[in-house]
Structure 1
Amino acid sequence: MLAVLEIAVFCLCTAGTVMASNKKRNYDDNYLDFGFTSITDKGVVKPQCVICRKIFTAESLRPSKLRLHLETKLPQHVGKDFSFFSRQELNMKRQRLDASGSFHQQNVVEASFPVSLEIAKKKKPHTIGEELILPCAKTMVKLVLGEKSAEKLNAISLSNNAVQRRISQISDDIKEQVIQEIKRAGLFSIQLDESTDVQSCSQLLAFVRYVHDEDLKEEFLFCEPLEQSTKGEDVMQKLTEFFESEGLDWDNLCGICTDGAPAMLGSQSGFVTKSTKCYPSSLHDPQASSCIKNATLRITGHSEYNYKDS
């Protein structure tokens, strides 16, 4: 009878120990005071040190064990405030290439921008990213860093539509930077030209010149189609619409450079004539730019400095 009781007591104690060991422990945000964040591995929450990056078992989710690791393994960080460990946690998450992590997704999207920019600079078809660049990149990474690293590149989207969106976003960002620099510069001048594209549609091109950081900059401003005609009033309308949409002030326009076409320099209905009538304080000498251009061509032909092959 005594032996039966001893066996029963042993079974109860063993069951209690097993239940205690299988007790599910949850992560507490206060554990970051000891330098620990949480990571989920196969549905099990485990503590991870934000300093040494070591991952512990789920049973270690106890303040006493976490504090013991900090005091014995990382004594130089004992007493650091919550913000210190929070920054360490953020840095660790930025480096963690977890396919479900938000930082990984951010890096994946960011990686597609420089590739799309190079495609645009080289004037290559947008499909080259998915058909050539990405497969080559995966092959190189696989040979140098291994198969797992190469698989991470599968998340980068370089399809035709993705590259087109990235180029459009880059274009909008560059345009916004140029507009902000023009506004900070105060005075600026523009150069206008009307050209025809491959589909025989008239396009108005505008370039801008301004001072930025004590340096003279020239940037492409816009390209807009002239749907109706190429008269001076159409050019005036397009430029006015652009100025109004971007918040540019006509009073800060100090010069206009164009070719000698009647639509631009016509004495009655030319663009320069209309702009000086509408905004007389913005331009000083509407004919100066054309005269300077012609004088430059004449001087170049009679220059005493000739190019010599060294």
Structure 2
Amino acid sequence: MDKYVIKTKSSESPDSDKTTKNAKVTSSTVSAKRKYNDEYIEFAFIPSKEDNSLPVCMLCSTTLSNEAMVPSKLRRHFEKKHPLYINKEKSYFENLRSQLYNQAKRFKNLCTVPEKAQIASYEIAQLLAKKKKPHADAENIILPSLEIAVKAMIGTQAVERVKVIPLSGDTIARRIQSMSDDIELQLKEHFANNQDKMSNLWALQVDESTDISNKAQLLAFLRIIKDGSIQNQFFFCSELKQTTTGQDVFELVNTNIESRGIKWENCISVCTDGAPSMQGRKKGFVAHVLKINPNVKIVHCMIHREVW
């Protein structure tokens, strides 16, 4: 009986191996994808840009599955959906394909701004901000001036490259805001990622002034230790909405300090002018600062002292 069982198992093993081989062949056949053939252009089909294994109809922009990548199924879609194009020659669809590719290429060139043009746009925006000039000057004065100079010194062909620099008023405003956000991000990262005790120390310089629209603006700078050297860093410029008392100034400064993860205990110095709202011993800005950190050194701005 044992011999019979052993013999039966051995006789069944070749069949099982054959079944396994068939299963492998079937799985490999299923996983294989059909490829696009140039002859399919006569049915108005081209390969998809996202996936070359998918056919796309140029006439209705319909994307079919890879299983439909056979002449019979493509012809059925073509004759059923687009009967008016049945008598068109193959060259007609080849020209249509060229037009679609050229149109996509032109659209990409229009939407893509070269990296050097982006850099030039940011640097011009920074220059306008430093010189306190209107944003519209970039498009109305700077760009035409660049075109004249480049045309005279280099040639007409180079003028076309200058024209791609984005310099509209809205673009300049976005560039300035983007640079401002980047400065704020760098400041946050400096205090968040710094483990050095000395690098966490900072000094504050604050001044309040009135702009041309008669609004009170509070401007603040930080002096920090970065990369082994002392650096001045722009902090913020915000409007004092109602009054300009020491309490108002402190609340605005404290809001900006807390939002950036900076600690008052690391403040070593505060520099302001001699206005009562700043230097007042009881209700001035420095009085509120000393309540939080009594070790802060108060400095009267030398420029304001020279004026007086």
TM-score relative to the length of structure 2? 0.57
In structure 2, C-alpha distance between the alignment counterparts of 1:157 and 1:134, rounded to whole Å: 9
1:289 aligns to 2:299 (yes or no): yes
- Note the 1:1-310 alignment, pairs <5 A: 42-43=98-99, 100-101=108-109, 104-107=112-115, 108-143=117-152, 146-183=155-192, 184=194, 185-277=199-291, 279=292, 282-286=293-297, 288-290=298-300
Q: How many Å apart are 1:165 and its aligned residue?
A: 1.8
Tell me which residue corresponds to 1:302. none
Q: Percent identity?
A: 32
Distance 1:245-1:142 versus aligned 2 partners, 3 A rule: same
Q: Once superposed, what is the RMSD of the aligned Cα atoms?
A: 3.7
8 Å contact from structure 2 (residues 220, 235) kept in 1 = yes
Larger of the two Rg values belongs to structure: 2
Task: Return the TM-score normalized by structure 1.
Answer: 0.56
Query: Displacement of 1:187 after TM fit?
Result: 0.9
Residue 169 of structure 1 and its aligned partner are, at CA, apart by 1.6
Do the aligned residues in 2 keep the contact of 1:27 with 1:45 (CA within 8 Å)? no
CA pair 285-119 structure 1, distance change in 2 beyond 3 A: closer
Q: Which runs of 5+ in 1 are unaligned?
A: 1-18, 30-40, 47-96, 299-310
1:254–1:283 Cα contact (<8 Å) kept:
no
Task: Assess if the C-alpha contact under 8 Å between 2:270 and 2:296 holds in 1.
Answer: no
Instruction: Name the SS of the counterpart of 2:212 in structure 1.
Output: coil
* 1:139 Cα deviation after fit: 3.6
Q: Give the whole-Å Cα distance in 2 for the aligned partners of 1:146 and 1:26.
A: 41
| Contact kept? 1:232, 1:264, Cα under 8 Å | yes
Cα offset, 1:135, TM superposition: 2.2
Distance in 1, matches of 2:185 and 2:278, equals: 27
SS in 1 for 2:241: coil
The gaps in structure 2 that reach 5 residues or longer are 1-37, 51-96
Structure 2: which amino acid aligns with 1:100? K
